[in-house]
Amino acid sequence: MQYQIIRDISVSEMAQALGLSFEGAGEQLVKTIGSLANTQSRVLKFANKPQEGQLNGIIIGLDGTEAESLIISENPRLDFCRALQFLIDSGTLVKSVISSEIDKSAVIADSAVIEDGVSIGKGTIIEHNVTIHQGSVIGDNSIIRANSVIGAQGFGFEKSDDGSWVRFPHLGRVIIGNNVEIGALNSVCVGALDNTVIHDGVKTDNLVHIAHNCQIGKNSILTACTELSGGVVLGEGVWMGPNSSTMQKVKIDDSAVVGLGSVVTKDVESGNIVAGVPAKVIRRG
């Protein structure tokens, strides 16, 4: 995550700003933002659905949710978006100061836009008109082809009661490993609350879209016009066929193959070949 909370804000103050009631310790301080995967205390999170057992931290959730501290909401995701925007607008949640680290052996086109706070490793090549946003990390001996955008805000909105759309601010980073090749005209979005991670040896063709929080395992191949929705997890050595699309939070295990034009709506087991709309198993690994 590339944001930090720079002043104390309590559960009671947060609830009051949102016009919501709370249960638990009103004096508990919000120290950072996270997803439910972060089990630490003093972390602001949201839970759209009932969870098993008591949740640590400060939860924006439905009435009856068991939590260390609960800000009660009828629409937790919307109110979490509102909470983040309040923290940003009030100057409480700000971008961290990250030092740029660009190795002298990296080759960067004059037309590329590299924001402050970017890390680029040894021997990496950044081609013409690439944009790399703050907080992005690119490893050694990787290539970012022309006109790609690394680390832009992802597409996340929640509809308010009046029908307008409220942006979900994405606070994470993009982490790209070693020996990765990102094709031309790719879009790789920052993580929402965690990071978007592309592991070593991954290769993407042209016109690939990788949404927020995706995790792409080593040596996977994403061919032309592959679209990965938010939170998709690819194992190692996965092959994604041209024009394939994958629904959010789907997991595709190691060495699986997704056929041309397929729409993946369910998890895919290791080694399986799937194809079609919706994608179905045509050969088991």
Query: pLDDT digit string (tens) for 22-33?
Result: 999 999 999 999
Q: What is the DSSP letter of 30?
A: P
At 83 the three-state DSSP class reads helix
Average pLDDT along the chain: 96
Give 23's contacts (C-beta < 8 A, 6+ positions apart).
67, 69, 70, 72
- How much is the pLDDT for 37? 87
Q: What is the DSSP letter of 236?
A: T
- How much is the pLDDT for 74? 96
- How much is the pLDDT for 13? 96
Backbone conformation region of residue 225, classed left if phi is above 0, alpha if psi is from -120 to 50, else beta: left
Q: What is the mean pLDDT of residues 39-53?
A: 91
Rounded to whole angstroms, the Cα distance separating 71 from 129 reads 45
Rounded to whole angstroms, the Cα distance separating 263 from 62 reads 32
Amino acid at residue number 284? R
- The architecture of the domain spanning 3-95 is 3-Layer(aba) Sandwich (3.40)
Write the pLDDT tens digit of every residue in 131-149.
Answer: 999 999 999 999 999 999 9
Residues 210 and 197 sit within 8 Å (Cβ to Cβ): no
Q: What is the mean pLDDT of residues 149-175?
A: 95
What's the pLDDT band for 67 if we cut at 50, 70, 90?
very high
- The architecture of the domain spanning 101-283 is 3 Solenoid (2.160)
Question: So which residues are the catalytic ones?
Answer: 212
What are the residue ranges spanned by the domains of the chain?
Answer: 3-95, 101-283
Write the pLDDT tens digit of every residue in 88-146.
Answer: 999 999 988 899 999 999 999 999 999 999 999 999 999 999 999 999 999 999 999 99
Q: What is the mean pLDDT of residues 182-196?
A: 97
CA-CA-CA-CA dihedral for 106, 107, 110, 114, to nearest 10 = -30
- How much is the pLDDT for 216? 98
> pLDDT exceeding 70 applies to what percent of the chain?
100
pLDDT reading at 1 higher than 80 = no
Q: What is the DSSP letter of 29?
A: B
Q: Which H helix or E strand runs over 46? A: strand 43-47
> pLDDT exceeding 90 applies to what percent of the chain?
93
> How many CB atoms are located within 10 Å of the residue 22 CB?
23
Q: What is the mean pLDDT of residues 67-80?
A: 96
CA-CA-CA-CA dihedral for 39, 44, 48, 53, to nearest 10 = 40
Amino acid at residue number 57? G
Give 84: exposed, middle or buried? Use CB within 10 Å, 0-12, 13-18, 19+: buried
* Pairing of β 181-182 and β 137-138: unpaired
Q: Is the peptide bond before 278 cis (omega within 30 degrees of 0)?
A: yes
pLDDT reading at 69 higher than 80 = yes
Please give the angle made by the CA atoms of 64, 67 and 73, to the nearest 5 degrees.
Answer: 50
Which residue in this structure is represented by tokens 């052996």? Answer: 105
Q: What is the mean pLDDT of residues 200-226?
A: 98
- pTM, two decimals, is 0.94
At 192 the three-state DSSP class reads coil
Distances (CA, A) of 129 to 57, 64, 235: 42, 51, 30
